[in-house]
C-alpha cells in the first residue's frame, strides 16, 4: 500500500505527465517508473554494444575500402550511442558497472535481433535497412517520451540512425543492380532478416506485460502493434523499389484500412530466442564476457595509475 | 626507375601500412577492454584507412593504368604489399596493440612532418592531413603506454613482453632503397634513415617514463621495402580480400 503522501506525489506526477511535461533526473518519480526506465534504457544501451558484434564480423571483409570506412564509422557510432545511453541511465541511480554485470550475468536483456548471425555482406545492408529502420520507428517515438535525459538522447541518436538506415538500403540497392550472385545474396538476406525485424517491436500488446503502464507514463507513446504497422507500411514500397521480395505471401495492401496486411509472426521463435536459444545468444555473451575478462588487467592498471597520479598531485 | 614509378611505390608503402594496421585495429571492434577504447580503436582504424585511400588515389593517378584504390587493396598478393612489418604483427593483448601503435605513430609523426615539406604538392598535402591524425594516435598510445607501464605489476610485465615481441621490427622503418634515393634527390621524398636518431631518442624517453627499456640485443628483422613479410600478412589478406575476390568485377 502506498502512503497518503506517496499517493499524492504519484497523482501530481501523473498530472505532470498528462500535461506533457518532461521528467528530469532530480524530480520525484514513482519507484516503478524509475525501474522501468532503467530496464528499458539499459536494454537499449546493451543492444548498441552487443550489436557491434554482428556488424564487426564484416569490417575486416568489407568488399571495398569505401564500404569498410562507412561500416567502421557506423559501428563507432553504435559504441557512442551505448556510451551515451549508459550515461543517461546513470542519472537514474545505477552505475555502468552494475548494468554491465547484469548483462554479463545474463540477467539484463538486449535486442534479440542481434542473436541472429551475419552470414553474408548483404546482412550488413539488411541490418542497416531493416534493423536500424525498425529502431528509428521506435526511437522517433521515444524521443517524445516523458523522461528528459532519454528523450534528448533519442533525438541525437535518431539523426545518426537515419544515416545508418540509408547506408544499409544503399548496400542492398547496389547489390540488386549487380551480378546474379549479388542479387541472390541480397534476397537471401532479406528472407532471413524480415521476420526477426518485425519481432523487434515486441509481442502484440495484449501479450506485452509492460505496455499499459509505460503508455500511461508516456514512456511509450504508441503500442507495439501500431509501430510494427508503421514500419511495414513504410518498408514495403522501399523493398519493391529495388526489386526485393519480402518473404510473406500474405503481405498485401488493404485499400480500406490504408495499411498493409501481413502474415502471422512466429512468436514461438521470438520467445525461444529471448530465452537464450537463438543461434548466437551464447556466442554474443561469450564474446562480451571474454572482452570484459581480458580487459580486467587494463582497467586495473588504469585505476592504479590514476591513484598514483592523484597521490602525486596531493603530495605536491 | 622514373620519378613517377618511385612515387607510386612510395604511396604504396604508406597506404599499405595504414591499411594493414587499420585492418588489425578493426579486429578489436566489440572486444575492447572498455567501451571508450572500442570507440578510440575504431576511430584510429578509420583514420588510417582514410589515409590509405588518399595515398592509393594518388598512386593510381601517377601510375595512370586505370587501376582503382580497390584494385590496389584487394587484387594484390602479399609479395606486392609494401607495408611495414610492424603493422601486420598480431594484436596480442591490449598492451601489445598499444605498444605497436606507439612505435608506428611516433615514427610516422616524424615521417609526415618531413614529408609535408615535399616539393610534390599532393604528397605534401596528404602528409599534412595525415600528420594531424597521427599526432592524436601518438597521444592516445603514449598515454596508455604510461598507464600500463606504471599501472600494476601485471600490466608492467605485459608491456615488457610487448617490447620483447615487437622491438625487432623497428629497424625496418628506416631502410632505404632506390625509391628513396631517387625521390630524395628530386626533393620529393625524405631522408628516411636520418629520422632514426630522433625517433630513437623520442621512443627511448617515453619508454623510460613508462618504465620500459629498449632491449640491449635485438636482431633486426627487415624486408618490407621488397615485400618480404612475416607469415601474418598472408592471413590478413586472405580474410580482407576473400569477398572481393569471390566476385570478380562486381560493384559494391
Contact criterion met (CB < 8 Å) for B30 and A72: no
Kindly list the averaged pLDDT for each block of 10 residues, start to end, along chain A of length 316.
82 94 95 95 96 97 98 96 96 96 94 97 98 96 94 93 96 98 98 98 83 88 94 98 98 98 96 94 96 97 95 70
Using the Cβ of B69 and the Cβ atoms of chain A, whether some distance falls under 8 Å is answered with yes
Does B67 map to a domain? yes
The whole-number average pLDDT for the span B27-33 is 95
Contact criterion met (CB < 8 Å) for B244 and A294: no
Locate the chain A residue with the closest alpha carbon to B244: A63
* Cα–Cα dist B72/B53, whole Å: 10
Q: What angle do CA A156, A160, A161 make, to 5 degrees?
A: 110
Q: Which of B173, B159, B175 is nearest to B214 (CA)?
A: B159
* Cα–Cα dist A47/B142, whole Å: 32
Residue pair B46/A38 in contact (Cβ under 8 Å)? The answer is no
What pLDDT score does A1 carry?
60
Residue pair A84/A157 in contact (Cβ under 8 Å)? The answer is yes
pLDDT band at B183 (very low <50, low <70, confident <90, very high): very high
What pLDDT score does A315 carry?
64
* Cα–Cα dist A12/A18, whole Å: 10
Residue pair A138/A227 in contact (Cβ under 8 Å)? The answer is yes
Residue B123 scores a pLDDT above 70: yes
Contact criterion met (CB < 8 Å) for B154 and A65: no
Does B89 map to a domain? yes
What is the full DSSP assignment across A215-257? HHTTSS-S-HHHHHHHHHHHHHHHHHHTTPPPS-TT-EEETTT
Residue A131's contacts (CB-CB under 8 Å, 6 or more residues apart) are: A51, A113, A193, A197, A200
* Cα–Cα dist B140/B143, whole Å: 5
In this predicted model, what pLDDT tens digit does every residue of B80-97 receive, in sequence order? 999 999 999 999 999 999
* Cα–Cα dist A84/A49, whole Å: 11
Q: Which helix (H) or strand (E) holds A259?
A: strand A259-261
How many residues can be counted in chain B?
252
Joined together, the cell numbers standing for residue A157 give 541518436
* Cα–Cα dist B169/A24, whole Å: 55
Contact criterion met (CB < 8 Å) for A52 and B70: no
What pLDDT score does A213 carry?
87
Query: What residues of B are in contact with residue A298 (Cβ under 8 Å)?
Result: 33-34, 37, 94-95, 148, 155
What is the full DSSP assignment across A269-293? HHHHIIIIISSSHHHHHHHHHHHHH
In this predicted model, what pLDDT tens digit does every residue of B200-238 receive, in sequence order? 999 999 999 999 999 988 899 999 999 999 999 999 999
Selected residues 23-82 of chain A with any CB under 8 Å from a CB in chain B: 49, 52-53, 56, 59-69, 72-73, 75-76, 79-80, 82
Joined together, the cell numbers standing for residue A21 give 511535461
Q: What is the pTM of this model?
A: 0.95
Residue pair A92/A41 in contact (Cβ under 8 Å)? The answer is yes
Joined together, the cell numbers standing for residue A178 give 549487380
- B21, B42, B145, B237: best to mutate for the A interface, most A CBs within 10 A: B42
**Chain A: nearest CA to B105, how far in angstroms?**
20
Contact criterion met (CB < 8 Å) for A82 and B151: no
What is the full DSSP assignment across A27-95? S---HHHHHHHHHHHHHHHHHHHHTHHHHHTTGGG-SSHHHHHHHHHHHHHHHHHHHHHHHHHHTTS--
Residue pair B120/B188 in contact (Cβ under 8 Å)? The answer is yes
Residue pair A225/A48 in contact (Cβ under 8 Å)? The answer is no
Using the Cβ of B248 and the Cβ atoms of chain A, whether some distance falls under 8 Å is answered with no
b/e sequence B2-36, b meaning 16+ C-beta within 10 Å? eeeebbbbbbbbbbbbbbbbbbbbbbbbbbbbbbe
Q: Residue A121: which of B69, B243, B251 has the nearest Cβ?
A: B243
- A52, A127, A296, A301: best to mutate for the B interface, most B CBs within 10 A: A301
Number of domains forming the structure of chain B: 1
Does B68 map to a domain? yes
Whole-Å CA distances, A151 to A12, A171, B74: 21, 30, 43
Contact criterion met (CB < 8 Å) for A62 and B158: no
* Cα–Cα dist B200/A166, whole Å: 47
Joined together, the cell numbers standing for residue B25 give 585495429
Locate the chain A residue with the closest alpha carbon to B24: A60
Joined together, the cell numbers standing for residue A80 give 557512442
Does B180 map to a domain? yes
What is the average pLDDT score of chain B?
A: 97
What is the full DSSP assignment across B30-82? T--SSHHHHHHHHHHHHHHHHHHHHHHHHHHHHH-SS--HHHHHHS--GGG--
Using the Cβ of A104 and the Cβ atoms of chain B, whether some distance falls under 8 Å is answered with no
b/e sequence A174-183, b meaning 16+ C-beta within 10 Å? bbbebeeebb
Q: Return the axis-axis angle of helices A180-199 and A148-176, rounded to nearest 10°.
A: 150
Q: Report the percentage of chain B scoring pLDDT > 70.
A: 100
Neighbours of A217 (CB within 10 A): 21
* Cα–Cα dist B52/A188, whole Å: 33
Does B126 map to a domain? yes
Selected residues 21-60 of chain B with any CB under 8 Å from a CB in chain A: 23, 26-27, 29-39, 42-43, 45-46, 49-50, 52-53, 56
Q: Return the axis-axis angle of helices B121-149 and B153-166, rounded to nearest 10°.
A: 140
How far from chain centre, in Å, is Cα A248? 24
Around B37, how many Cα atoms within 13 Å sit in the side-chain half-sphere? Answer: 21
In this predicted model, what pLDDT tens digit does every residue of B139-160 receive, in sequence order? 999 999 999 999 999 999 999 9
How far from chain centre, in Å, is Cα B92? 17
Contact criterion met (CB < 8 Å) for A174 and B155: no
Q: Which of A173, A166, A183, A75 is nearest to A128 (CA)?
A: A166
Q: Residue B47: is it exposed, middle or buried by C-beta count within 10 angstroms (0-12/13-18/19+)? A: buried
Domain region containing B15: 3-246
Q: Which helix (H) or strand (E) holds A260?
A: strand A259-261
* CATH number for the domain that contains residue B79: 1.20.1260.10
Q: Report yes or no for ipTM above 0.90.
A: yes
Residue B118 scores a pLDDT above 90: yes
Whole-Å CA distances, A242 to A137, A160, A237, B219, B241: 21, 23, 9, 58, 27
* Cα–Cα dist B69/B74, whole Å: 9
How far from chain centre, in Å, is Cα B244? 23
* Cα–Cα dist A48/A110, whole Å: 8
Does B251 map to a domain? no
Residue pair B155/A297 in contact (Cβ under 8 Å)? The answer is yes
Does B17 map to a domain? yes
Query: What residues of B are in contact with residue A181 (Cβ under 8 Å)?
Result: 247, 250
What pLDDT score does B20 carry?
98
Amino acid at each position: 500500500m502506498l502512503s497518503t503522501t506517496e499517493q499524492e506525489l504519484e497523482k501530481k506526477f501523473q498530472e505532470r505527465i498528462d500535461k506533457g511535461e518532461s521528467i528530469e533526473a532530480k524530480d520525484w518519480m514513482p519507484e516503478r517508473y524509475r525501474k522501468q526506465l532503467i530496464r528499458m534504457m539499459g536494454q537499449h544501451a546493451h543492444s548498441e554494444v552487443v550489436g557491434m558484434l554482428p556488424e564487426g564480423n564484416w569490417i575486416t571483409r568489407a568488399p571495398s575500402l569505401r564500404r569498410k570506412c562507412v561500416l567502421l564509422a557506423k559501428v563507432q557510432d553504435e559504441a557512442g550511442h551505448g556510451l551515451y545511453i549508459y550515461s543517461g541511465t546513470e542519472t537514474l541511480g545505477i552505475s555502468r558497472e552494475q548494468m554491465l554485470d547484469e548483462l554479463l550475468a545474463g540477467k539484463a536483456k538486449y535486442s534479440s535481433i542481434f542473436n541472429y548471425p551475419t552470414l553474408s555482406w548483404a546482412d550488413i545492408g539488411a541490418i542497416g535497412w531493416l534493423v536500424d529502420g525498425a529502431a528509428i520507428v521506435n526511437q522517433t517515438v521515444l524521443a517524445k517520451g516523458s523522461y528528459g535525459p532519454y528523450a534528448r538522447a533519442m533525438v541525437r541518436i535518431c539523426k545518426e540512425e537515419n544515416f545508418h538506415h540509408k547506408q544499409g538500403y544503399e548496400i542492398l540497392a547496389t547489390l540488386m543492380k549487380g551480378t546474379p550472385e549479388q542479387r541472390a545474396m541480397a534476397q537471401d538476406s532479406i528472407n532471413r532478416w524480415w521476420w526477426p525485424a518485425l519481432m523487434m517491436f515486441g509481442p502484440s500488446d495484449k501479450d506485452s506485460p509492460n505496455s499499459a503502464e509505460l503508455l500511461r507514463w508516456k514512456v511509450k507513446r504508441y503500442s507495439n502493434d501500431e509501430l510494427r504497422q508503421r514500419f511495414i507500411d513504410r518498408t514495403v514500397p522501399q523493398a519493391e523499389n529495388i526489386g526485393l521480395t519480402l518473404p510473406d505471401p500474405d503481405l498485401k495492401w488493404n485499400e480500406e484500412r490504408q495499411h498493409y496486411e501481413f502474415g502471422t509472426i512466429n512468436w514461438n521463435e521470438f520467445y525461444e530466442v529471448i530465452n537464450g536459444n537463438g543461434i548466437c545468444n551464447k556466442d554474443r555473451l561469450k564474446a562480451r564476457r571474454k572482452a570484459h575478462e581480458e580487459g580486467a588487467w587494463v582497467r586495473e592498471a588504469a585505476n592504479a595509475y590514476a591513484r598514483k597520479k592523484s597521490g602525486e598531485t596531493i603530495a605536491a | 626507375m622514373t620519378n613517377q614509378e618511385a612515387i607510386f611505390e612510395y604511396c604504396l608503402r604508406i597506404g599499405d601500412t595504414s591499411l594493414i594496421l587499420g585492418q588489425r585495429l578493426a579486429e578489436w571492434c566489440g572486444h575492447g577492454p572498455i567501451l571508450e577504447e572500442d570507440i578510440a580503436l575504431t576511430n584510429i582504424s578509420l583514420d588510417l584507412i582514410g589515409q590509405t585511400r588518399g595515398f592509393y588515389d594518388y598512386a593510381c593517378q601517377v601510375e595512370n593504368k586505370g587501376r582503382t584504390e580497390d584494385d590496389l587493396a584487394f587484387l594484390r598478393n602479399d609479395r606486392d604489399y609494401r607495408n611495414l612489418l610492424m603493422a601486420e604483427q598480431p594484436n596480442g593483448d591490449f598492451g601489445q596493440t598499444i605498444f605497436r601503435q606507439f612505435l608506428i605513430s611516433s615514427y610516422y609523426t616524424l615521417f609526415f612532418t618531413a614529408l609535408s615539406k615535399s616539393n610534390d604538392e599532393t604528397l605534401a598535402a596528404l602528409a599534412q592531413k595525415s600528420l594531424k591524425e597521427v599526432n592524436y594516435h601518438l597521444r592516445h598510445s603514449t598515454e596508455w603506454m604510461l598507464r600500463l607501464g606504471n599501472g600494476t605489476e601485471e600490466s608492467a610485465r605485459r608491456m615488457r613482453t610487448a617490447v620483447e615481441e615487437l622491438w625487432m621490427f623497428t629497424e625496418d622503418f628506416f631502410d632505404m632503397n632506390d625509391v628513396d634515393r631517387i625521390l630524395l634527390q628530386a626533393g620529393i621524398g625524405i631522408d628516411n634513415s636520418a629520422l632514426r636518431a630522433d625517433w630513437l631518442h623520442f621512443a627511448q624517453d617515453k619508454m623510460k617514463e613508462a618504465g620500459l627499456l629498449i632491449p640491449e640485443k635485438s636482431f633486426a628483422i627487415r624486408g618490407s621495402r621488397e615485400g618480404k613479410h612475416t607469415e601474418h600478412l598472408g592471413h590478413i589478406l586472405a580474410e580482407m580480400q576473400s569477398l572481393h575476390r569471390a566476385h570478380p568485377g562486381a560493384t559494391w
